[in-house]
Amino acid sequence: MPWVDVEEGGQGTWAPQKLETIGDPVLRQRLADQVTTCATAFIARFNERTGLRIAVYGRGVFRDLQMTNCKFGSDSAVNPAYTARMPPMDKYGVPLDDISLWQVQGTPEKGKIGSNRAQVPGYPWELGKWGQVDYSVYIDGPRPTTLKSLRDRCLARSP
């Protein structure tokens, strides 16, 4: 299933500063509304043009703009936790039932002793010049995972 990645990046003049530093609630809400409008429109257009399911990926923008309804019409969500335990995303309007993938990273942050990043024993955490790797783990919300549930939830087209 394709993902739409909703993250802060080199947005240039879209926001006057790093989102995490915005203290003005009116500005924060205006930017949150813009993210919602854009992500919702993209997902609707993607569905219209392709007929495929799509998941939403993100957390930092949701957190920094204090957003609470972050599925934007998507079929599923990816929890980019990078932690040994998956934190809930309920406060962003994404309950555990809607999460199909949990993305973890294979090693603690360099130079940070006691970092809470996930380690995956027996798997590489770095691939030469490509750098650190991420692993996406399928979950079926709070239910046990099965091949059938993976097919039912994560294929780009409904079975």
Q: Would you say residue 116 lies in a domain? A: no
Q: Would you say residue 118 lies in a domain? A: no
- pLDDT for 6-20, tens place per residue? 987 765 567 878 888
- When divided into structural domains, the chain yields a total of 1
Output the pLDDT for position 79. Answer: 84
Output the pLDDT for position 70. Answer: 94
Output the pLDDT for position 12. Answer: 59
Output the pLDDT for position 51. Answer: 92
Q: Would you say residue 35 lies in a domain? A: yes
Q: What percent of the chain has pLDDT over 70?
A: 84
Question: pTM for the complete prediction?
Answer: 0.81
Q: Would you say residue 159 lies in a domain? A: no
Where in the sequence is the domain holding 86, given as residue range(s)?
A: 3-110+123-154
Average pLDDT, the chain: 83
Sequence-distant (≥ 6) Cβ neighbours of residue 67 within 8 angstroms: 32, 35, 36, 61, 92, 93
Q: Would you say residue 75 lies in a domain? A: yes
Q: SS3 of 132, please?
A: strand
pLDDT above 50: residue 113: no
Q: What gap in Å lies between CA 16 and CA 7, rounded to an integer?
A: 16
Stronger pLDDT, 112 or 120, i.e. the higher one = 120
- pLDDT for 53-84, tens place per residue? 999 998 889 999 999 999 999 999 988 876 66
pLDDT above 70: residue 105: no
Q: What gap in Å lies between CA 157 and CA 140, rounded to an integer?
A: 17
